[in-house]
């Protein structure tokens, strides 16, 4: 992961005096390199975690095209770099290195804003057009990479983290009644596009836009759409196998050491198996990382989300893979203390011990590898949760994972509940998402509900996990 930030004023008047302070605020996102682009109309800030093309991938990066100069700050991984690079070379582009940053930059120079349709990857980036004095910015389809922004005194200010916005503006963080409701009723989730703190917005996943002297313009470029499924079961299985395997292989491309999370569950075991096979073909040995908790064997209790302990299955996978396995044990006092660091990393209250354990886990992983692949969000895509499988849970009205609105509302002061009714607030969020679900006509009630579940998970539960993963990687980029 990397950190990006910037201040844009097409009419000029930017000093860039606080650019270094903003850069420092984002340092943990990119400890290896940093850079600045300064002009009277634009400041672009970057902190880099080096993964591919360590020397030639420095940012901010610029290129010339048709007599115009473009400058980019980019956070992401582009998985079709090689294919897109070849196409751009055929169109006359010249490359100094092999980083995906250079490909994204040249793709914008050639295709303009339609470059987003060319990308297979996860990203948040901003590109300054010196001639038009205009900024283009975009975020990946799922929202893996973060992008927050605000407009103050006619300036567009953006950053990978909320703390970068606060540092750039000098604002004190404030929340109003809606912010309280977000934290207390929806947290650790967030309404898509809402930054919780007053005056701070989030670029929604699959959105891009421009900012220039005409103002701010944002639009979506992709959304989930229901389509008729025409493949046989065998074709579907083969198609899914290809997509999953291809996604894993593409994420193994790196100039730094790569490993995998290994919980013993289906998703991390599958990823580790594919990764081990690819690395063995290249004469390498996979490193896997497993987290455990002191006295877990004594205190573990089965649940619908985790019916059994991981340890037995991890051992079986380690034997099967022949990998270089690492067991990282976390003690409760360390877990509690790390809660404070986890909230600082996330800028908001999060998933409690899930956040702190992930932070501590990644700190240890970083001692061995820079990139670690995990199976996060597989349950959302492949139906691993009770609300997909259990008819009673699935049929409940409202967010299936948040059925405690009245209980949560009991902790909110009346000065806020008098402004916003808690039940109406949560229910409207739910209905907005359900009503926006793409569904073909004449679906059965079950199929219709499953489409809604996919959309609810895509816009809410998955985003919560992605926020958690991005915030708490602590110098390790977890794909």
At which residue do the structure tokens 């909320």 appear?
162
Q: What is the DSSP letter of 31?
A: B
Please report the sign of the dihedral spanned by the C-alpha atoms of residue 49, residue 54, residue 59, residue 62. negative
Half-sphere exposure of residue 252: CA atoms within 13 angstroms, side-chain side: 24
| End-to-end Cα separation, the chain, in angstroms | 9
HEC letters along 94-107 = CCCCCCHHHHHHHH
Out of 2, 63, 377, 478, pick the active-site residue. 2
H-helix segments, 172-232: 177-181
Tokens 């670690």, residue located: 372
**Which one-letter DSSP state was computed for residue 242?**
H
Among candidate residues 244, 250, 210, 29, the one with its CA nearest the CA of residue 121: 250
What torsion, rounded to 10 degrees, do the Cα atoms 351, 356, 360, 362 define? Answer: 20
Cβ neighbours for 70, distance < 8 A, ≥ 6 positions apart: 62, 63, 64, 105, 108, 109, 127, 128, 129, 130
Beta sheet of 324-330, edge-to-edge order:
324-330, 287-293, 258-261, 371-373, 477-478
What is the sign, positive or negative, of the torsion defined by CA atoms of 446, 447, 452, 455? Answer: positive
Tell me if residue 2 is catalytic. Answer: yes
- Which positions are catalytic? 2
């Amino acid at each position: 992961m990397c950190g990006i930030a910037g201040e844009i004023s097409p009419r000029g008047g930017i000093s860039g005096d606080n650019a270094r302070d903003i850069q420092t605020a984002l340092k943990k996102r990119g400890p290896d390199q940093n850079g600045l682009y300064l002009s009277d109309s634009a400041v672009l800030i970057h902190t880099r975690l080096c993964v591919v093309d360590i020397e030639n991938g420095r940012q901010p990066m610029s290129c010339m095209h048709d007599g115009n100069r473009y400058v980019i700050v980019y956070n992401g991984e582009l998985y079709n770099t090689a294919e897109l690079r070849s196409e751009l070379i055929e169109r006359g582009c010249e490359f100094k290195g092999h980083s995906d940053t250079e490909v994204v930059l040249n793709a914008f120079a050639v295709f303009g804003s339609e470059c987003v349709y060319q990308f297979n990857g996860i990203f948040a980036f901003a590109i300054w057009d010196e001639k038009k004095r205009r900024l283009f910015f975009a975020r990946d389809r799922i929202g893996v990479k973060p992008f927050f922004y605000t407009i103050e005194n006619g300036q567009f200010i953006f950053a990978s983290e909320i703390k970068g916005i606060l540092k750039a503006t000098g604002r004190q963080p404030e929340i109003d009644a809606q912010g309280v409701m977000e934290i207390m009723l929806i947290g650790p989730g967030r309404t898509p596009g809402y930054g919780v703190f007053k005056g701070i917005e989030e670029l929604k996943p699959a959105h891009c836009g421009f900012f220039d002297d005409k103002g701010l313009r944002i639009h979506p470029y992709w959304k989930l759409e229901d389509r008729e499924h025409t493949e046989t079961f065998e074709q579907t299985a083969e198609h899914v196998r290809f997509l999953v395997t291809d996604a894993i292989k593409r994420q193994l491309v790196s100039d730094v050491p790569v490993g995998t999370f290994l919980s013993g569950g289906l998703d991390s075991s599958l990823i580790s198996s594919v990764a081990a096979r690819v690395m063995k073909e290249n004469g390498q040995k996979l490193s896997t990382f497993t987290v455990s908790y002191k006295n877990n064997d004594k205190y573990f209790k089965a649940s619908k989300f985790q019916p059994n302990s991981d340890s037995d299955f991890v051992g079986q996978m380690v034997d099967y893979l022949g990998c270089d396995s690492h067991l990282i044990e976390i003690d409760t006092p360390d877990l509690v203390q790390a809660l404070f660091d986890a909230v600082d990393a996330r800028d908001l209250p999060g998933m409690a011990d899930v956040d702190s354990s992930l932070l501590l886990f990644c700190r240890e992983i970083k001692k061995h590898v820079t990139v670690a692949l995990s199976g996060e969000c597989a349950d959302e895509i492949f139906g691993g949760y009770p609300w997909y499988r259990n008819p009673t849970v699935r049929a409940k009205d409202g967010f299936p994972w948040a059925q405690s609105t009245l209980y949560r509302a009991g902790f909110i002061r009346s000065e806020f509940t008098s402004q916003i009714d808690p039940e109406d607030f949560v229910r409207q969020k739910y209905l907005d998402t359900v009503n926006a679900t793409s569904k073909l006509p004449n679906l059965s009630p079950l199929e219709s509900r499953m489409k809604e579940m996919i959309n609810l998970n895509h816009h809410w539960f998955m985003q919560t996990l992605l926020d958690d993963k991005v915030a708490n990687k602590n110098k390790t980029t977890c794909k």
